[in-house]
Amino acid sequence: MPKASSFSRFTRGVRHTVRAFASTKHPVLVHIVPMRRCNLSCTYCNEYDKTSDPVPIDVMLKRIDKLAEFGSSVITISGGEPMMHPEIYDIIARIRHHGMIAGLISNGYYFQVDKIKKLNEAGLDYLQISIDNVNPDEVSKKSLKVLDAKLVNLRDHAKFKVNINSVVGGGVANPEEALIIANRARELGFSSTVGVIHDEMGLNKGLTERDKEVYHEIKSKGARSYARWNWFQDNLVEGKEYEWRCRAGARYLYIDENGIVSWCSQQRGTPGIPLLEYTHADMEREYITEKWCAPTCTIQCVHQVGHLDSWRDPQISLNDFNNRKGKGLKKETVAQVLGTE
């Protein structure tokens, strides 16, 4: 990877991080879905279908422009399988045009050399591939055996950062395979992370003793990075709740293929407002609203964004917020609602 490209990505990342600490008035991370369809059918996944069309490119570009108006820092494209979108490179280029950091989450099947070079040209900053097992089985075809040649292509040609994520818990048949996947990622020069598999609501499903051992071993290896800001999982691994302030709907946004803003991929439909109608007032409300699912949530990206604001601005229940608003306080500020002004 050319040093200039790596240095530019680093400096832009630092700039956006400093800005995130300095102000709470913009989204730090957005996940946006240009395509719900996927070429795979992993049995645990609730984020794909087999028939839907890609979102038209003009619609996607309007959504990217709206996120830029909000001052968003990082836009990560997910799915479904986003590499199936015929204008995926134009979407990435539009993100970079606005000075935002462009990320991609993929199942890894589409990384032939020509596609990697087009991603380089579009300006992709980082890629995450989730690999579930060493050999494909009836649960998942996202296996190291199938994807290793694509990983070699990425090693040899990608000018963007690559992270390989594996999972433990929730009935994963062979947790030791997560270690094999993590070790292979590091051999290829990629970063590696480990996630705790969740149920259909994004909540903790529990880990066996062997799951816990594998989790801690993978976590102990590799360089520290923002992608490894996952200490919240230590409590979940032990079956405990984690107390934190979820900023979904404000600092983190999930935009589905219909352009609807949700807390995250597992809480779709809340708040359920179209992105093009979303306002700073909506973000202020969601910023201070407690989320019922937070104590056992396993969604890493939402937690990582929440770390930025863990030291400031307490949250209140939505009912309390609405009750106060219903008593003629419609013009009060968020600070007044919180009792900090």
Domain boundaries, the chain: 3-307, 316-341
How large a percentage of the chain has pLDDT more than 70?
A: 82
| Mean per-residue pLDDT, 8-29 | 93
**pLDDT tens-place string over residues 276-311:** 999 999 999 999 999 999 988 888 889 889 989 989
Q: Class assignment of domain 3-307?
A: alpha beta
C-beta of residue 263 within 8 angstroms of C-beta of residue 270: yes
Residue 27 has φ and ψ, to the nearest 5°, of -70, 135
Mean pLDDT of 13-25: 93
* Distance (Å, whole) CA 341 – CA 333: 9
- Compute the radius of gyration of the chain from its Cα atoms: 20
Q: Are 203 and 239 in contact (CB under 8 A)?
A: no
Q: So what's the pLDDT on residue 3? A: 42
pLDDT of residue 221 exceeding 90, the answer is no
**pLDDT at 112 exceeding the cut of 50:** yes
Residue 180 is predicted with a pLDDT of 92
Position 66 confidence tier, pLDDT thresholds 50, 70, 90: very high
Angle at 165 between CA 162 and CA 169, to 5 degrees: 175
User: 250 or 10: which carries more pLDDT confidence?
Assistant: 250
Q: Is 60 exceeded by the pLDDT of residue 199?
A: no
pLDDT level of residue 249 (50, 70, 90 thresholds): very high
pLDDT of residue 330: 41
The Cα-based distances of 160 to 4, 125, 128, 155, 229 in angstroms read: 12, 5, 10, 10, 20
